[in-house]
Amino acid sequence: MIVNVDGGARGNPGPAAIGVIVRDETGGVLLERGERIGQATNNVAEYKALILGIRLARELGADRVELIGDSELIIKQVQGKYKVKNEGMKPLHAEAKAALADFSEWSVRHVKRELNGDADRLVNEALDG
- Residue 77 is predicted with a pLDDT of 98
Task: With 0.85 as the threshold, say if the pTM is over it.
Answer: yes
- Residue 29 is predicted with a pLDDT of 97
pLDDT in tens, 67-120: 999 999 999 999 999 999 999 999 999 999 999 999 999 999 999 999 999 999
Q: Is residue 30 exposed (0-12), middle (13-18) or buried (19+ Cβ within 10 Å)?
A: middle
- Residue 115 is predicted with a pLDDT of 95
pLDDT in tens, 2-58: 999 999 999 989 999 999 999 999 999 999 999 999 999 999 999 999 999 999 999
- Residue 75 is predicted with a pLDDT of 98
Instruction: Provide the 3-class DSSP secondary structure of residue 90.
Output: helix
What's the CA gap between 26 and 23, in Å, rounded?
Answer: 8
- Residue 41 is predicted with a pLDDT of 97
- Name the superfamily (CATH) of residues 2-128: Ribonuclease H-like superfamily/Ribonuclease H (3.30.420.10)
DSSP secondary structure code for residue 85 in this structure: -
Domain residue extents for the chain:
2-128
